[in-house]
Amino acid sequence: MSRKQGRPKMGHEPLTRDRILVTALDLVDRHGMDALSMRRLASELGVDPMALYHHLPSKSAVVAGLVERVFGEFHVPSPQNATWQDRVHAVAAAYRDLVRSHPNLVLYLTTDREASARGALEGSEALYAALAAAGLPPRQILLAADVVVDFVNGYVLSDAAGHIGESGERAALVARLNESPVDQFPTIRRVVESLTEEELRGDFHAGLGIILAGIQAMQQGSAGQL
């Protein structure tokens, strides 16, 4: 009688928005965004596709719900006795790890402002507070925070794209480099050839460190003008 394998669930537990989103997130984590369809999601829940529409108005609402849920898991660290630099590193790393835990959702996590706003506020507050502790005036806090956020979003996007496509971070670029005439792109060639595999890897905290040094330079520059 059972049309599907071992699932003991008989469809008894009531369908809820939450149960739908949990299943959808699992589906996306396991099989990617392309696997997320209302029909497949419904069949995963053992339910008629149209039943979903009583809890979520559309597919895009499902995706927004996923982003919201994931950002709900974003618990911002606030290390004690830490420099403002360490606090920025901690928030940024927590965000990077959050996105890494759902790499198939990265495009939506970094892009859907509306759905991520609630969770993003907590991260922003921690970031702004760290920059305020560094002694920056409001306008510089805003500028500095934007740089950090844009960098981190760019990083996680490139990080996740590397995981989704099988090629390592720089593989596609190096492949094209090797296809090109040897007299082209001399600087890239020199850099790539003088570094080991290990040194070619990106470094999140090193990159962030450059930005924090720049923030410090900006702050000291403007303090000098006072």
Specify the DSSP class assigned to residue 104: G
**Number of residues counted as binding its own copies (CB under 8 A):** 68
- Interface residue with its own copies among 114, 182, 183, 225 (CB under 8 A) is 114
- According to the binding rule CB under 8 A, does residue 82 interact with its own copies? no
Site membership for its own copies, residue 203 (CB under 8 A):
yes
Nearer to DNA, 24 or 76 (CB): 24
**51 contact, one of its own copies, DNA, none, CB 5-8 Å limit per kind:** DNA
Binds its own copies by CB under 8 A, chosen from 50, 175, 178, 223 = 175
Distance CA 95, CA 129 (A): 16
CA–CA dist 131, 83 (Å, integer): 10
The item of its own copies, DNA, none sharing an interface with residue 176, based on CB under 5 to 8 Å by kind, is its own copies
DSSP state of 14: P
Q: Which does 11 bind (CB under 5 to 8 A by kind): DNA, its own copies, none?
A: DNA
Selected binder of its own copies within 18, 26, 75, 213 (CB under 8 A): 213
CA-to-CA separations, 192 to 5, 188, 189, in angstroms, rounded: 52, 6, 5
Q: Report the residue number, 54 or 75, with the smaller CB distance to DNA.
A: 54
Contact assessment for residue 96 and residue 152, using Cβ atoms and an 8 Å cutoff? yes
**Which residues in the 115-144 window bind its own copies by CB under 8 A?**
117-118, 120-122, 124-125, 128-129, 132, 138-139, 141-144
Cβ(40)–Cβ(27) under 8 Å?
Answer: yes
Q: Which is nearer to its own copies, 45 or 88 (CB)?
A: 88
Can you tell me the distance from the alpha carbon of 106 to that of 161, in angstroms, rounded to the nearest whole number? 9
- Rank residues 16 and 101 by Cβ distance to DNA and give the closer one: 16
How far apart, in whole angstroms, are the C-alpha atoms of residue 48 and residue 67? 24
- Chain residues binding DNA by CB under 7 A are 11, 14-15, 36-40, 47-51, 53-55, 58-60
- CA–CA distance, 161 with 168 (Å, rounded to integer): 9
d(CA 35, CA 3) in angstroms, rounded, equals 21
167 binds, among DNA, its own copies, none (CB under 5 to 8 A by kind): its own copies
C-alpha distances (whole Å) from 157 to each of 136, 165, 225 are 29, 12, 38
Contact status: 79 vs its own copies (CB under 8 A): no
